[in-house]
Structure 1
Amino acid sequence: MQRLNPDPQFVRELQGVGGDALTKCYQCATCSVACPISPSSQPYPRKEMIWAQWGLKDKLMSDVDVWLCHNCGTCSDLCPRGARPGDLLAAIRNMTYRSLVGPSVFAKWMSSPKYLPMLAVIPAILFLVIWGIMAGVNGTLFPLTEDGHVVYGLIFPGDYTIDPIFILVTIYVLVAFYTGVTRLLKRFKPEGEVIYVGGKKPSVIRCLWDTIVGEIVTHKKFADCGEDKAPRKIGHLAIFYAFIALAIVTSIVAWGHWLPVFLGWGGIEIHGIHTPMPQAFPVKVLANFGAILGLVGLTVLTANRVAKDPKKTESNYYDWYLLGVIWAIFLTGIACELLRLANFKYLAYPTYFVHLVAVFMLIGYLPWSKLGHLVYRTAALTYARYLGRKVM
């Protein structure tokens, strides 16, 4: 007989991060029946609603099904009591983000809007110090080139400030994700029947490949959640591919700058890529395309979230923090380009400063933000596929 260890404090914490309506659930199972992607054996989210009401923290934190849910909201739309089971699963994921990696203070700061200034002040101070040092070198806070143009490298040189900072931050985030994914997979315990196609256990690499190509890249499960969820899928895909485009641009620019430097140390001289780039340059065209695509996705997702019925589903701070930071990145990024082209130095440099702060807040706090689910969900979906956990 399995011994249960209810945790009343966990229930209160769960209610505080989006699962506040769970006490309304009276176990009618409408949510599990309505979910179009829930496994036929031990379906969710009914069992998660039971465990949450009982305060079974260990059960919920080791439940892979929490990550299989794509939060389409169908279960919450059809719930006769307004218990919002979809919000509950999102709340469990939010709590999981906070517990996987340290330092714990970042997890705490990500949990409430009152800590937002703390998250912003770290990169703000860092970049203000750099700006101040470079102002001393240039003799002004708002320098121009000899031919009178705004160049952001005059106040934030990529060679020895921006590039090293974000390289170190990225390495830290990758280590944090490795630690978090490892801990997450160790927690998981299979629920329901395990069936392997053809009776043979697949390889982890094959499962990871099928998950990325079959689900992540196409967002197929978003379509499976119902035709009326199409705007949500379009919004997610637009932002997803916008970030891919901008990541490609960043990688090309970095390699185009640093590769000639490294080769130059070996006596090999080649021409590199330098910023700012001409508007017709292919890399610049891709960057502008990514920016426009990102704005489209943000507009769709924001409109979709604002239009939600609060009685059926409720947006929480994790949702709005992520949307707000991404909005700040894209708006300031586009504004930086326009202000640079217009040579409005008194607006261009402060805008670029805000842009750097927003980018740091997205990347630096990624393991504790909702965007971290892109990594954790991929790991969970791969694990479920490896186990043979089947959907309807």
Structure 2
Amino acid sequence: MSNALKVQPDLQFVKDLQDVGGEDVKKCYQCATCSVVCPLSPADNPYPRKEMIWAQWGMKDLLVNDIDIWLCHQCGTCSTQCPRGAKPGDILAALRNMTYRNLVKPAAIGRWMSKGMYLPLLIAFPALIFGIIWLIRAAQLGTFFPLVDGEVIYGALFPGDFTIDPLFGLTALFVIITFAVGINTLIKGWNKTVKKTFVLGYKKPTLTQAIIDVVKNEIINHAKFRKCGDEPEDDDKFKGHLTLFYGFVCCFIVTSIVAGAHWGGKLIPFLAPIGHTPMALWNPVKLLANVGAILLLIGLTLLTRRRMNLDPKTSNSSFYDWYLLGVIWVIALTGIGAEVLRLAGAPAFLCYFTYYIHLVSVFMMIAYLPWSKLGHLVYRTTALIYARYVGRLPIDEELVKQDNIYIV
């Protein structure tokens, strides 16, 4: 006689899941339609059916170590086809939201990121930091709105050497360390739970090759986003994510060039002019920055339109979704606004206030990154690399027919 399985449900976990976008989890009656229609789910041990039953039962320990919640790209096909309206795609998104919230310390930030009522706190911290910098500089300069030769120069009020660069540098270091802790926690859990699938003729890649494959196929080309879904809004999701991604790439390159040339110029003088700001509009670095800003606006427009047009019967939008879109919108609009206002000769107070809001929003995106939905850039990429490395991949149908699959 087989041993009975003792299940100890975590009822608070179920309630928390419902609070962050998984309110329809109890509608599932395990028909497995979601796993059948998913274009990405592996033939062996597919998702999201098992995640649905685990979520209903409050089996937190299984879900927190489940790699498949990260391999899902939330195309919505499973939710559209679900006969009960249980919205499996939203459940997996909610599970990711809960993971963001609890994966790393300090846990308070994770709690604040989960509900709109805490948004004022998330804004207040960077607003206070940059407000203090503004007050100190104003006291030093004798004015709140300094002009250099009659021109607004943002570096005069928020100088890079002893305010912006050290502050964002330390913040970035904190985020990197936090992500490293989170990745280590995830991998330890996956090592215990992920089944390794091997196919005859399948050559297990090295870790380096797995990284290269994921970067080339999943990040640069967004192959899985392209494969997901066949509705018009799915096309908006693919194009929106891809455009937004390359907009951020452009902005990252520009920031790296400016900061690298500025600090490198202290050792190698001829580099200093490269990072000098403000730059002329025809400067290649400035042109790249403006291209990045335009790409951000296009991507944001596509993703916002998609989310606004989602059928509430098949998909919900959580605070995590709108928080991320909102912050990036503010970053893009205030970044462009600060440039346009300065070039147009707008009043100094309007220019500086716009730039202040821009700094606050950029800090919010970077400092809270490990707890926000944008954290999937790191966690999902890690999951994709791990899955490819161990063979946790969708299996070709012909190989399935030939029974050339071994699971360990």
The answer to whether the superposition gives a TM-score over 0.5 is yes
Q: 1:270 to 1:167 in 2, by over 3 A?
A: closer
Partner residue of 1:234?
Answer: 239
Residues 98-109 of structure 1 aligned to structure 2 (within 5 Å): 98-109=101-112
* Displacement of 1:76: 0.4
1:263 is displaced (CA, Å) by: 3.3
Q: Is residue 255 of structure 1 aligned with residue 253 of structure 2?
A: no
Stretches of structure 1 that go unaligned for 5 or more consecutive residues are none
Identity %: 56
Instruction: Provide the aligned C-alpha RMSD in A.
Output: 1.5
CA distance in 1, matches of 2:199, 2:8: 32
- C-alpha contact 1:259 1:272 (8 A) present in aligned 2: no
1:94-140 Cα offsets, whole Å, 9 max, x none, are 11111211111111111111111111111111111111111112211
Give me the whole-angstrom Cα distance separating, in 1, the residues matched to 2:158 and 2:70: 40
The residue number in structure 2 matching 1:28 is 31
What is the deviation of 1:17? 0.8
Q: Which has the higher mean CA deviation after the structures are superposed, 132-141 or 307-316?
A: 132-141
Q: Name which of 125, 132, 137 aligns with 1:134.
A: 137
- Structure 2 segments unaligned to the other structure (5+ residues): 396-408
Please tell me whether the aligned partners of residues 262 and 271 of structure 2 are also in contact (alpha carbons under 8 angstroms). no
Partner of 2:296: 294
| 8 Å Cα contact 1:256-1:273 kept in structure 2 | yes
Q: Aligned residue for 2:404?
A: none
SS of residue paired to 1:195: strand
8 Å CA contact 1:207, 1:385 repeated in 2: yes
The number of residues matched between the two structures is 388
1:244 matched to 2:275? The reply is no
User: What are the Cα deviations for residues 112-169 of structure 1, in whole angstroms up to 9, with x where unaligned?
Assistant: 1111111111111111111111111221111101x20000011101111001000000
Question: Counterpart of 1:386?
Answer: 389
Structure 1 segments, 4+ long, off by >6 Å, are none
Contact 1:195 1:390 in 2 (8 A): no
C-alpha contact 2:175 2:369 (8 A) present in aligned 1: yes
Structure 2 CA distance for aligned equivalents of residues 305 and 354 of structure 1: 25
Query: Does the 8 Å contact 1:201/1:386 carry over to 2?
Result: yes
**Counterpart-to-counterpart distance in 2, 1:378 and 1:197:** 26
Deviation, 1:197, is: 6.2
C-alpha deviation, 1:4, in angstroms: 3.2
CA distance in 2, matches of 1:173, 1:191: 27
Q: Displacement of 1:57 after TM fit?
A: 0.6
Partner of 1:346: 349
Where in structure 2 are the equivalents of 1:55-94 lying within 5 Å? 55-94=58-97
Tell me the equivalent position of 2:99. Answer: 96
* Correspondence list, 1:1-392, <5 A: 1=3, 3-145=6-148, 147-188=149-190, 189-191=192-194, 194-195=197-198, 198=201, 200-228=203-231, 229-263=234-268, 271-344=273-346, 345-392=348-395
Per-residue deviation, 1:353: 0.4
2:100/2:371 contact within 8 Å kept: yes
How far residue 192 of structure 1 moved from its aligned partner, in angstroms, is 5.1
Gap change, CA 1:48 and 1:127, over 3 Å in 2: same
> For the structure 1 residues 304 and 350, does the alpha-carbon distance in structure 2 shift closer, same or farther, using more than 3 Å as the test?
same
**1:41–1:193 CA contact under 8 A, matched in 2:** no
Q: Provide the C-alpha distance between the structure 2 equivalents of 1:302 and 1:386, rounded to a whole number of angstroms.
A: 34
TM-score normalised to structure 2 length: 0.92
| Aligned residues of 1:196 and 1:387 also touching (Cα < 8 A) | no
Paired AA for residue 160 in structure 2: G
Letter in 2 for 1:209: I
Report the Cα offset of residue 262 of structure 1: 2.7
Q: Secondary structure at the match of 1:110?
A: helix
